[in-house]
Structure formats: structure tokens, C-alpha cells
Amino acid sequence: MKQEQSRVRQIQATEQHAGQRLDNFLLRELKGVPKSLVYRIIRRGEVRINKRRAKPAQRIITGDVVRIPPIARQTKINTPKVPDTLIQDIENAIVHEDDALLVLNKPPGLAVHAGTGIDYGLIEALRLGRPYTPFLELVHRLDRQTSGLILVAKTMDVLRQLHTLIRTNAMDKRYITLLHNRWQGSARWIDFPLKRLKSQPGQLRQVVIDHAHGDEAHSYFRPVRKFANHTLAEVKINTGRTHQIRVHAAYIGHPVVGDERYGDFTADRANRSLGLKRQFLHATQLHFQMPESGKRYRFDVSLPQDLQIVLEHLENL
């Protein structure tokens, strides 16, 4: 495949760019450039904002000047081959759509975007199924094996507003999860800071509790139903750290049932008769009000059948 060598580019951010993460901005500007290369040039300091080094998560402000170094880009972009059945399944998973956003009830087992070893995810399939929709961007993420509500913005302005709601804890996000062990007492806040460890090629991403250097993370666990050796809980999160619920739950001695990274592997093997084939975690509620229009949104989806069956088995033990 032929490549072209680009020149240094100086892009002045407009209102349409405001609020974007630097990495997402570059991925849109550098079509055909591998994601790994984009992060490499940021890490090496070759990308600058107002002549200063920047990090991938830095938010762009109107008027910022972003320097993009000369890089080789592919003249032909490989479009992932997404099965037509998956594109249709994703369309069927839409629970709400208007001019501002899409809301989907993501099925388990589907990544939200392409990544290492994953050619496509929900957002790539959604874009392929809607080639005439000019803008579709994930507002937040869910783990591959987590089901439930996820937001997709249809304009940059809406994306910026929704990111503001998330950063200011103004979006009510709730999950239903099944935890190992019987919960003692009532609901409680878990506020242990989290740190994402650097992963080596071929290794799984790992998140740990780090009181000295971690980012603040707040999770509110409320027991809904108690079984002999399990607890069904609702979890409200005021921050959206990677693997937040799973790491907090494991740290307090109630790992998420079926969690292959932070869970109780011995107990999960003993519970195979429950029929669970993934982690028991479902994004069940999203409530928020748009800052500019004042429009209120409220979305609630029930547990999918595979998780309902697990609860029925527990009730019959």
C-alpha cells in the first residue's frame, strides 16, 4: 500500500473542536494512520498544543494551535469488514434517537471500538450502517463483556456538553451487578483512588487501588437482593474510571461474579451451574439534563435474559 509523507501542520482549534481529547482529535485528523503511531507521536512530544507538550487526554480549547508533525499516512484506508447481521443487530439495539444523540442497549461480547486484536466495535459498525451521518462519536465506554446503555453523540457540540456533564458528576449512571458473598449492612460509598498500570504487548490492562498516586473514583453500592452467598446490587458511579466498579467491588471483598480479571475464580468455577458466561454487570440507567437546551433525558433498560436466568437459578437454590 502506497504511503504519503505529510508536512508539519498547524491547526487552530475552532468551537467545533472545543472539548475534544487530543487523541480523539488526532485520530480524526489523521485518517489512515495507525492508532499506535498517533499515541507514539504524542508520547514523544512531537504533537504540541500552543508549542507545549501535551498528553492524550488533554482537552482542546477554542483558539489552541495544535502542531501535527510530518508522518507517513496510507493513501488508501482499510475499511473493516463488519457482518451485515451485526450492523442490523446494532440498529435493533437503539432505544432512542433524535437530532442530538443515539442511545443503545449494547449487547455483551461486543467491544465499543476497535483496538488491539479487535478490527471493529460498536462505533465502527454503527458508522458503516449510517454512511450519510456526518458525525458519530462515543460519549463514554463500557467493557466488552458489560451490557447496557451507551451514548453516541451526533454533533461535536453535543459531545462537548455530555463530556461536561460526566466531568461535573451531573450525569446519573447506574449499573446492576451480582457480587460474590452476602453483603453486610446497608449501602456504602467506595472512594478508593484508582491507577491504570502500563500494559506490555500481549498483556491485559490492569487497574489497581493506589492511595498515593491514583485518580479519585467514587462508587455507591446499594444492596438490592441478598442470597446465601451472593448479593445483587445497584451501583451509582460519580466518576468513570476504567474498570471502576469491578476493582472497587473486588477490593471490598465482593468481586463481580464472572469477572475474569479481578474476580473470585474459585467461586466462579463452583458456580458454573448458574449458566453465566460473562461478568454480571449491566448499565441499567442514564439520567441527565442537557446544559444548553435544558432537555431532560431518562433511559432505563432491564436486565438481559442471560442475567435474569442466573438470578432465577439463585432463587431456586
Q: Which residues are tagged catalytic? A: 143
Alpha helices in the chain (DSSP H): 22-29, 35-43, 84-92, 122-129, 156-167, 244-251, 265-270, 305-315
Contact 176, 222 (CB under 8 A): no
Contact 123, 106 (CB under 8 A): no
Say how far apart CA 22 and CA 42 lie, in whole Å.
9
Torsion of CA 303, 309, 314, 317, to 10 degrees: 160
Cell of 230: 451472593
Orientation angle between helical segments 22-29 and 35-43, nearest 10 degrees:
130
CA angle 233, 252, 170 (to 5 degrees): 55
Contact 164, 140 (CB under 8 A): no
Cell of 150: 451507551
